Amino acid sequence: MGAGKYYTIRNGISYDPGSSARILAFIGLAVSALVGTVLIVGGVLLARRGDNTHVNTTSLVRSLAGLALNLLVTICTESIGFVHSTTLKWSLQDQGNLDFNANVRVFRFARGFFSPNGPIANILMGILLIISYASSSIALLGNLNQGALLSPAVETTRVSSFGLIVLGSVLVAQFLLAALGALTTHVPTWSTSPLDVAAAAQSEAIGAVQHQHGRCMRSVGDDSLDGPTQPRLSQPSAWRCIPHVRHIVYLTWALVPLGLLWGGISLGVYIHQRSASGSDRSINWSLVPSSSPTHTSPFLTLNLGWTPAAEAPLLGLVWALFLISLSQGLLTLGLHAAELVINLYLDECLWKLSTTTSGTSSDVGSGGRNPLKSVLGSWPSLGLLIFKPLIHWLFGLGLTISTTIGLQIHPVQILYTTASIVVFAGFTTLVATRGWSGKRGGMQPVAYGHIQTLVNLIDEWNAGTMWWGHKWEGEGGVCHAGTSGEILPGVRVGAWYAGKEKGKKGDLMVRKRSHQ
């Protein structure tokens, strides 16, 4: 990664400052602030009209509108999250605490109690993230309007001014925290590529990561090992190398029994209540529940709300928001933490390309410098983008609010949510336990975006494309592996590696590519 008008050169090391990623990040930040402001203004205008905005819709249409709203929330929070995680990354680097390119932003804190990336700000960011999804559940409320005597009730949707104002406010609050971090943090590169981040971290004057000699064949999990070693024929998964990956997978699977317990208890209570009253106990397994009260609907529904005399009172909505946030909080944090597993895998995919004939750079693989490409350009990140709003939407179907009844628990939809979590947990486990062998970079040490490991493995930074492999054999037959702007031969099976970065005269040397 060398000289060029798109590269920054510091201390002899070049890297991309991520100008395009920075522009996209600030555009996403501005759009999120705009969406939040529009929601607040819309909510205030609705409140001034008396909150009587009803739209004739079916439960299905209202649910699909809720899915679209969840997708919008995901886009806004991901845009804000990119800026927040980037500033957190470089705050940690300035303090000498940056370990990986990818971090769980609401669980990692920089020093400084009241700093934009300190404990207070990051815990607040996590709470706001939870409320973002919870408030989207109370923005569109089900309603049954009873017409003339003996005529069927008409199902409508009420747009809640309270829900819109809360959702808009938490989005704006997250925007302010992320913007404050961007204004007060020195960010050498906005690139998402671990290669650019490692290069920038090594070239920084303060908190620079130092290259450790003799570790050209050591993976991220080999911190306690030293001395020459032979290449492995296969490389371990993130599950084996990084302890907190296992913790995240355990957390994801822990959501499954909680969902089964909640859905099972709710189902049992429903059946008991219907049996005691002699009512119909039939089960409707439709995906979308009805807004109807229990005694007029075959849908499984438990009502925890207010009297029909008051239509969605403010105090009732506040109480409902609190209950939904409390029950949805662990789910939101679990999905958020699972991002780390995906990002670690994508960082390793980018590094593994350096053993292929095409080589690697921060422009290829998982999207590199462009955060939009990094999300849409790989199946793990695209799967995560689909799972997050989908699971939150299904959860919203399990906990609904009727304007005349209150908070309703739908056991069937809770069970559907649990089923989706099972699929997501399996997806996360698959990514976390996927190792590397054969043509998939089997003998190349794994880094998973670990900055110190990458700095140890990369001995020559090249602009554009980079290759990794065998470079030369030194004294005593101990070889050296590293990177180059030229295609390198593969490392030798059975050879010992821990050589110096400079070969003696007569050693096999690889000339640096000259860049225009």
pLDDT tens string 34-68: 999 999 999 999 988 875 567 777 778 888 898 99
Report pLDDT for 10. 63
What's 374-427 look like in SS3?
HHHCCHHHHHHHHHHHHHHHHHHHHEEEECCCEEEECHHHHHHHHHHHHHHHHH
CA distance 447 to 220: 5
Mean pLDDT in residue range 339-344? 94
CA distance 108 to 432: 20
Q: Looking at the 3D structure of the chain, how many domains does it have? A: 1
Q: In angstroms, what CA-CA distances link 490 with 74, 216, 347, 431, 480?
A: 42, 14, 21, 26, 12
Evaluate whether residue 220 is within a structural domain.
no
Q: Are 284 and 274 in contact (CB under 8 A)?
A: no
Evaluate whether residue 372 is within a structural domain.
yes
Residue type, 135: S
Evaluate whether residue 403 is within a structural domain.
yes
Residues β-bridged to residue 479:
473, 497
Share of the chain above pLDDT 90, in %: 47
Of 99-103, 307-311, 480-484, 485-489, minimum mean pLDDT range:
307-311
Report pLDDT for 312. 65
Please give the model's pTM, rounded to 2 decimal places. Answer: 0.86
Q: Is 55 helix (H, G, I), strand (E, B) or coil?
A: strand
Mean pLDDT for the chain?
Answer: 83
The upper half-sphere exposure of residue 473, i.e. CA atoms within 13 Å in the direction of its Cβ, equals 7
Report pLDDT for 511. 33
Of 202, 236, 209, 208, give the one whose Cα is nearest residue 220.
Answer: 236
Evaluate whether residue 330 is within a structural domain.
yes
Residues β-bridged to residue 407:
304, 401
Evaluate whether residue 284 is within a structural domain.
yes
Residue type, 331: L
Q: Are 46 and 158 in contact (CB under 8 A)?
A: no
Residue 153's pLDDT band, with cuts at 50, 70 and 90, is: low
Residue 510's pLDDT band, with cuts at 50, 70 and 90, is: very low
Share of the chain above pLDDT 70, in %: 81
Strand-strand pairing, 302-304 and 8-10? unpaired
Residue 304 pLDDT more than 70? no
Tokens of 390: 């989908």
CA distance 33 to 165: 13
Domain containing 130: what range? 19-188+237-434
Report pLDDT for 411. 87
Evaluate whether residue 84 is within a structural domain.
yes
Evaluate whether residue 264 is within a structural domain.
yes
CA distance 488 to 504: 18
